[in-house]
Structure 1
Amino acid sequence: MKKLLAILGAVTLLAGTDMVLAAATGTLTHIDVDESNEARQRGAETVISTCLLCHSLKYVKFINLTEIGMAKEDIEFLLMDQGISDRMMSLSPVEVREESYGKVPPDLSLMAIARKNGPDYLYTLLTEYYYTEEGETDNHLFPGIKMPDVLAYADTEPGSAERAEAEAQARDVASFLKWTADPNADTRESIGVYVMIYLVILTALLYLLKRRVWRGVHKTE
């Protein structure tokens, strides 16, 4: 309960910030999405520890994280006042987020497919923060955005280990959110391989059957 109160206090400090995403004006950075469960797990940890303060993933339950290889004990370690069978909802009440940001921040469950080039969009958004001359954070992709720089990217220097770590975290977040947008993609792809093998074998058998039938026809002639 103390952790939850601390988080709500942090939300209050961010009151008045505009979480509405305007039209993107910058160029997206292309990334090769890491489809490994290890990357998805790291992304899940970052999302739970930073993004659930304001955002929800209403189509995903914490228990679903076992599908990307996370042990129940590791999932429970990340929980605060939630249960492992609960949906991944924001830790802040709707009223608090509406009062603080003017509207409820968007659900992230389908964000990777709701946006064109979703993973690139997510990565670019998280890695385009910088400090203005007035000492405030801004974003090259969304000038004027007030969404907090959750990875503290603006505090890192080009070429530094800290920047490399922030970029790696952003890639992992993109990887995880791509999975939440379509968690059955891996299953479909694996089934697709077997379907293709089946079709190849079926085609070969039908070809052999055709040859046999027509051989008999030619003999009767």
Structure 2
Amino acid sequence: MRMKAMKKLLTALLFTPLMALASGPEVHLDKAPVSTEPAALQNGAKLFVNYCLNCHGASYMRYNRLQQIGLSEQMIKDNLMFTADKIGEPMRIAMQRDEAKAWFGAAPPDLTVISRSRASEFGSGADWLYTYLRSFYRDDSRPTGWNNKVFENVGMPHVLYELQGEATAKINEHDDGHGGKTKEIEIEAPSKPGKLSAEEYDHAVADLVSYLVWMGEPMAEARKSIGTFVIAFLGLLFVLSYLLKKNYWRDVH
């Protein structure tokens, strides 16, 4: 009995995730043009505060961290601080989790490390976010009136629709050859144009994604610089150690 239970457990652990992966739809992700330029990160921070911070918090990120992307304390206070009084406070929201769950069906997740979280699922959190934010379309069958090609039946409405416009989708169903059907969703051009052109909207989303990636690890660039220096130092130390070893042992041999 004990051996049978162990076999069942191993089967569940090994094969269930593989079956789920095989049965799930393949998601094509567009390459995100992530930038570390201060101008891009500043524009991304502005978009995040104006469009995301109403429902999604970033409770592990403090406003004063934005000084690292070239913003002064006064600029942060005047343009980006709408939910806090002190610049050292986290980027929290006023909405309560129980209220959010009642309104949206689930509480909107904290976005501090959303890019790293999605990276663990899809390989590239930046690519997933970039594709997701450009894949909303009108769907009257959904409570919010919106759906998403990447995240089907998502509870989140398209908060950037005034920038992109109201896109529609052409949905085709095909026989998968096993008695089931596969769904192919083709996003069409917005029927109602937004404030930005398609190219401008893609650029704005790229800036927002760049900021989300930066927010997940603000010290990433410094870490890479330090890592490069450490590797170069270790390489030099290796050469010096090798020359010292040769000089020390030359009389022995």
Check whether the contact 2:140–2:146 (CA below 8 A) recurs between aligned residues: no
1:86 aligns with 2:89: yes
Match of 1:126 among 119, 129, 133: 133
Check whether the contact 2:83–2:92 (CA below 8 A) recurs between aligned residues: no
Within-5 A mapping of 1:131-210: 131-132=138-139, 136-152=145-161, 153-155=164-166, 157=189, 162-210=197-245
Instruction: Supply the AA of the counterpart residue of 2:82.
Output: M
Identical residues among aligned pairs (%): 31
* CA–CA distance in structure 2, aligned partners of residues 210 and 25 of structure 1: 56
Instruction: Supply the AA of the counterpart residue of 1:60.
Output: M
Shift of 1:32: 3.1
Shift of 1:110: 0.9
* CA–CA distance in structure 2, aligned partners of residues 145 and 118 of structure 1: 17
How many residue pairs get aligned? The number is 196
* CA–CA distance in structure 2, aligned partners of residues 27 and 56 of structure 1: 28
Check whether the contact 1:130–1:154 (CA below 8 A) recurs between aligned residues: no
Shift of 1:95: 4.1
After superposition, give the CA deviation of every residue in 1:141-174 in whole Å (9 maximum; x if it has no partner): 123224121221343747x952222211211111
Check whether the contact 2:100–2:108 (CA below 8 A) recurs between aligned residues: yes
Q: Highest relative contact order (Cα 8 Å, sep 6+), 1 or 2?
A: 1
Instruction: Supply the AA of the counterpart residue of 2:148.
Output: N
Give the equivalent residue in structure 1 for 2:64. Answer: 63
Local SS of the residue matching 1:178: helix
Check whether the contact 2:44–2:208 (CA below 8 A) recurs between aligned residues: yes
Give the helix-richer structure, 1 or 2: 1
Give the equivalent residue in structure 2 for 1:102. Answer: 105
Local SS of the residue matching 2:41: helix
Give the equivalent residue in structure 2 for 1:17. Answer: none
Shift of 1:133: 7.6
Local SS of the residue matching 1:31: coil
Task: Structure 1: state its 5+ residue gaps.
Answer: 1-22
Shift of 1:25: 6.0
Shift of 1:191: 0.7
Check whether the contact 1:98–1:104 (CA below 8 A) recurs between aligned residues: yes
Give the equivalent residue in structure 2 for 1:54. Answer: 55
Q: 1:24 to 1:147 in 2, by over 3 A?
A: farther
After superposition, give the CA deviation of every residue in 1:2-53 in whole Å (9 maximum; x if it has no partner): xxxxxxxxxxxxxxxxxxxxx8864221223112222222111111111011
Check whether the contact 1:125–1:141 (CA below 8 A) recurs between aligned residues: yes
* CA–CA distance in structure 2, aligned partners of residues 143 and 198 of structure 1: 49
* CA–CA distance in structure 2, aligned partners of residues 55 and 41 of structure 1: 18
Task: Structure 2: state its 5+ residue gaps.
Answer: 1-23, 168-188
- Give me the TM-score of the superposition, normalised by structure 2: 0.69
Give the equivalent residue in structure 2 for 1:112. Answer: 115
Structure 1 vs Structure 2 CA RMSD: 2.5
Give the equivalent residue in structure 1 for 2:32. Answer: 31
Check whether the contact 1:47–1:173 (CA below 8 A) recurs between aligned residues: yes
Local SS of the residue matching 1:113: helix
Check whether the contact 1:151–1:166 (CA below 8 A) recurs between aligned residues: no
Check whether the contact 1:129–1:154 (CA below 8 A) recurs between aligned residues: no
* CA–CA distance in structure 1, aligned partners of residues 50 and 159 of structure 2: 10
Shift of 1:96: 3.2
Instruction: Supply the AA of the counterpart residue of 2:114.
Output: M
